[in-house]
Structure 1
Amino acid sequence: MEAEPKPETLLKNKAQTSYPVYTRQEVAKHKTVESGIWVTYKSDVYDITNFVELHPGGDKILLAAGGALEPFWSMYAVHKQKHVFEILEEYKIGELRPEDVQETCDVTDPYRKEPLRHPALKVNSLKPFNAEPPVQILSENYLTPNEIFFIRNHLPVPEVDPKQFRLNIEGEGLKSVQLTLRDIQTKFPKHTITATLQCAGNRRSEMNGVRQVKGLNWGLAAIGNAKWAGAKLSDVLKYAGLPEDIDAKHVQFEGLDKDITGSPYGASIPIRKALAKDGDVLLAYEMNNEPLPRDHGFPLRVIVPGVVGARNVKWLNKIVVSKEESKSHWQVNDYKGFSPSVDWDNVDFNSAPAIQELPIQSVITAPSNDEHLNSDMNEITVKGYAWSGGGREVIRVDVSLDGGQTWRVADLSEVKPNEGQAWAWKLWQLTVPLPKDQKNMEIICKAVDNQYNVQPDTVAPIWNLRGVLNNSWSRVKVTIKSK
């Protein structure tokens, strides 16, 4: 991660300007559009009134109105990039008096107690922590080891005492119930499923190759497969008195991870998924036969198989049965797909449904892109993963070694799921003679599920401003070199 640029260095080529000096009390009076929205960063004062509508994070920027940006930027370190500081400098109107500067800078880091992570993980952001394993090792294990399972955090990882933990359940037709971790482990049958979780932004880097998008620059490995164990959500809701004729439409989840204002991460799923006998939605407390790691929701998280990772809320603290979906930012103003024609000037998040089930996906994990192969090799083995959302089973993976002119069918891992419950990925491979008459090869894979959904061949037609749902053909270019 590049070092944080200093705002003052961005002005070194500009004409020196004399700015008025303000007190923190004067800045605090500017919290509305009428009075002008002012914020501070380090020793400087900015009037961002005209920027609020342009802010990619929506009106969350108003949380800092009249105060310092540091507590919020420490939560979202993606702001600490050169182009962000350049934008900010355009709105500078003054400076803080020296005695008020220390107050701004003396901020406790909310990420100071993060868990240790495996050094093999490729870090996409430190605060909040987001990382993926090297794609080359992703298909080495059917069950992704906990240590290298991709990590998608939106906020600081909470520290939770399992003895003090409580799960609160409330909502339409329910009696309010509070359960301990021990209650969840002993009052309900333990149910185990193997399920793949995939971030909606998996393969976003390829969308950036078409046109820049907003979001973490995920590669090919924001996905993993694990064995999850816990209580069925439907059993727990029944225990809480959920009537059979309930007319609620959604089940909302809230986590213990919170932003600087105390607002938790939240999401929701349709109640039909939560209650379906074959829906297999879990309140999971184990991952690959071990207690959930802290980065993956210890002590309790929701596992919604077949559904985008963003709905699998970690550090689960509250469940609400409701007629409405979650009002969380991540449900209402994020994780939605749009036409390639939509940009940040005309996007309307209310016009699109929240992502739930994900589309058919497959990726080449070996060989690597731009890898050099020796011409004296007799054969080449191509490997990868394939998965489809909604419990749809991958039935075929087609592989081309000549850029899509001809195709061969890969061998799939021998896992036969129940109809509609294909929650786990399939690993695949194809071993064929190495072409002797080629110096360059473009290897392509594409998958087909049992509903005959197929992947689009290129990225551009599915490009969207958030860079989500990239399931285009996976492509790798290799060079064959003579010794």
Structure 2
Amino acid sequence: MTVHEVEPFNAEPPRSALATSELTPVDAFYSRNHGPVPDVDARTWRLRVDGLVSTPLSLSLDDLRDRFAERTETATLQCAGNRREGLAAVRDIPGEAPWGPTATATASWTGVALADVLAAAGVQDAATDVEFLGADVSDQADPPQEFGGSVPLRKAGMPEVLLAWAMNGEALPAVHGAPLRVVVPGYIGARSVKWVHRVRVTDAPSSNFFQASTYRLLPPDAEVTATPGEGVELGLVAVNSDFLAPDDGSEVPAGPTRVSGYAFAGGDRTVVRVDVSADGGATWTQADLAEQASTWAWRHWHASVEVPQGDVELLARAWDSSAALQPERPEQVWNPKGYVNNSWARLRLHGV
């Protein structure tokens, strides 16, 4: 793993670790944290469900397993800062981790539908949003506070949103949110709150620092502040793609070369096409798309391109089912926090 920070622990795997399987091995799943990994005792842990509900709940893991139907959903999570290094190459982005293209991963998540738990609590008519709070405390906020965020009630009520205790058939590791985490398919990873201990039904989006002040898209000329409500709140993931193999900077035989990668679109959109170019976009080869494990998962792709002798830069671009296309250049999407770099993917190779 490339470790961007030790405390809080933030790390991403090499491209090759994501290239061989639709499901990402647990030990290769990127880790994005805002505070120290909390030490949560699953035996005494309880999930509190309150706010605008008729019957507040306090649930143990056994309660969740016994009272609600188990569900498994395959879903991709992607950090809002994925591919930030491409934006930092345009202009400096101080104070932010230089994420490469692998702050994204896919797992099979097992738990219970959040909608079933909310139904048991009885959501009141005035409710519009559902907020999650984790046990991790971050000093990025002043004063320090627990990491949290919310999604609209209409999303929280969808069957794919889980309170998950397992990934890829194994119990959640501590670094990935044990004993329980939220999984919100189609939304930025920050909404899939780890170590969740409270679900609160509200009549407004979360005022938590990490939603109201941090995960916001600012205009290119904006000054970075912690002013609540500044910029655009991040939610659904924009269509994106990148190369996974060969690795960037690889030396390969000149001639036909197999390249592969991933593409992903948030919301309920799916990837429908990926193109690859070896001549600066003058001509394109349409990639072959792998079967998609679920509506909420990425698609792996591969293509054969002609690599000339010497240095070459390959390009990749994806379309989603709404006909949205990745923007061409990182300069077009640069912003002072380095979020949502979904410009065309670029891979440098040397043909010999």
Q: TM-score range by the shorter chain?
A: over 0.9
Taking the aligned partners of 2:87 and 2:41, their CA distance within structure 1 comes to 41
Cα pair 1:340 1:461 within 8 Å, conserved: no
1:251-330 paired onto structure 2 within 5 Å? 251-259=130-138, 263-276=145-158, 279-330=159-210
Q: Which amino acid in structure 1 is aligned with residue 278 of structure 2?
A: L
Deviation at 1:262, TM superposition (A): 6.6
Taking the aligned partners of 2:215 and 2:270, their CA distance within structure 1 comes to 24
Tell me the residue number matched to 1:385.
262
Tell me the residue number matched to 1:410.
287
Taking the aligned partners of 2:222 and 2:228, their CA distance within structure 1 comes to 11
**Percent identity among equivalent residues?**
40
Q: Which amino acid in structure 1 is aligned with residue 301 of structure 2?
A: W
Tell me the residue number matched to 2:11.
131
Q: How many residues align?
A: 348
Q: Are residue 338 (structure 1) and residue 209 (structure 2) matched?
A: no
Taking the aligned partners of 1:368 and 1:176, their CA distance within structure 2 comes to 51
Cα pair 2:53 2:121 within 8 Å, conserved: no
Distance 1:435 1:321, change over 3 A: closer
Tell me the residue number matched to 1:480.
351
Taking the aligned partners of 1:431 and 1:390, their CA distance within structure 2 comes to 30
Tell me the residue number matched to 1:228.
109
Q: Are residue 457 (structure 1) and residue 328 (structure 2) matched?
A: yes
Tell me the residue number matched to 2:54.
174
Taking the aligned partners of 1:271 and 1:353, their CA distance within structure 2 comes to 19
Q: Are residue 439 (structure 1) and residue 305 (structure 2) matched?
A: no
Deviation at 1:174, TM superposition (A): 2.9
Q: Which amino acid in structure 2 is aligned with residue 386 of structure 1?
A: A
Q: Deviations over 1:415-456 (max 9, x none)?
A: 264xxxx20000000124x445x4332210000011011100
Tell me the residue number matched to 2:96.
215
Q: Are residue 400 (structure 1) and residue 277 (structure 2) matched?
A: yes
Tell me the residue number matched to 1:106.
none
Tell me the residue number matched to 2:248.
369
Tell me the residue number matched to 1:424.
297
Q: Which amino acid in structure 1 is aligned with residue 12 of structure 2?
A: E
Question: Structure 1 runs of 4+ off > 6 angstroms?
Answer: none
Tell me the residue number matched to 1:353.
232
Q: Which amino acid in structure 2 is aligned with residue 318 of structure 1?
A: R
| Equivalent residue in structure 2 for 1:242, among 123, 131, 137 | 123
SS where residue 310 of structure 1 aligns? Answer: helix
RMSD value, Cα: 1.6
Cα pair 1:359 1:389 within 8 Å, conserved: yes
Taking the aligned partners of 1:381 and 1:203, their CA distance within structure 2 comes to 22
Higher helix share: 1
Q: Which amino acid in structure 2 is aligned with residue 371 of structure 1?
A: S
Cα pair 1:384 1:428 within 8 Å, conserved: yes
Q: Which amino acid in structure 1 is aligned with residue 243 of structure 2?
A: I
Tell me the residue number matched to 2:20.
140
Higher relative contact order (CA closer than 8 Å, sequence separation 6+): 2
Distance 1:203 1:236, change over 3 A: same
Deviation at 1:229, TM superposition (A): 0.8
Tell me the residue number matched to 1:41.
none
Deviation at 1:371, TM superposition (A): 1.7
Tell me the residue number matched to 1:77.
none
- TM-score where L is the length of structure 2: 0.95
Tell me the residue number matched to 1:26.
none
Q: Which has the larger radius of gyration?
A: 1
Cα pair 2:72 2:109 within 8 Å, conserved: yes
Deviation at 1:348, TM superposition (A): 5.4
Distance 1:323 1:183, change over 3 A: same
Deviation at 1:138, TM superposition (A): 1.5
Q: Which amino acid in structure 2 is aligned with residue 480 of structure 1?
A: G
Deviation at 1:248, TM superposition (A): 1.3
Cα pair 2:45 2:60 within 8 Å, conserved: yes
Cα pair 2:216 2:230 within 8 Å, conserved: no
- TM-score where L is the length of structure 1: 0.70
Q: Which amino acid in structure 2 is aligned with residue 459 of structure 1?
A: P
Q: Deviations over 1:301-325 (max 9, x none)?
A: 0000000000100001001000122
Distance 1:259 1:478, change over 3 A: closer
SS where residue 216 of structure 2 aligns? Answer: coil
Distance 1:165 1:352, change over 3 A: same
Taking the aligned partners of 2:184 and 2:197, their CA distance within structure 1 comes to 16
Cα pair 1:132 1:149 within 8 Å, conserved: yes
| Unmatched segments (≥5 aa) in structure 2 | none
| Equivalent residue in structure 2 for 1:194, among 57, 74, 77 | 74
SS where residue 196 of structure 1 aligns? Answer: strand
Taking the aligned partners of 1:435 and 1:480, their CA distance within structure 2 comes to 6
Tell me the residue number matched to 1:114.
none
Taking the aligned partners of 1:127 and 1:470, their CA distance within structure 2 comes to 25
Q: Deviations over 1:46-104 (max 9, x none)?
A: xxxxxxxxxxxxxxxxxxxxxxxxxxxxxxxxxxxxxxxxxxxxxxxxxxxxxxxxxxx
Taking the aligned partners of 2:170 and 2:349, their CA distance within structure 1 comes to 39
Tell me the residue number matched to 1:33.
none
Q: Deviations over 1:196-226 (max 9, x none)?
A: 0000000111111111114111111100000
Q: Which amino acid in structure 2 is aligned with residue 264 of structure 1?
A: E
Distance 1:239 1:252, change over 3 A: same
Taking the aligned partners of 2:287 and 2:129, their CA distance within structure 1 comes to 40
Q: Deviations over 1:220-252 (max 9, x none)?
A: 110000000111001001111224xx2211101
Deviation at 1:349, TM superposition (A): 4.8
SS where residue 214 of structure 2 aligns? Answer: coil
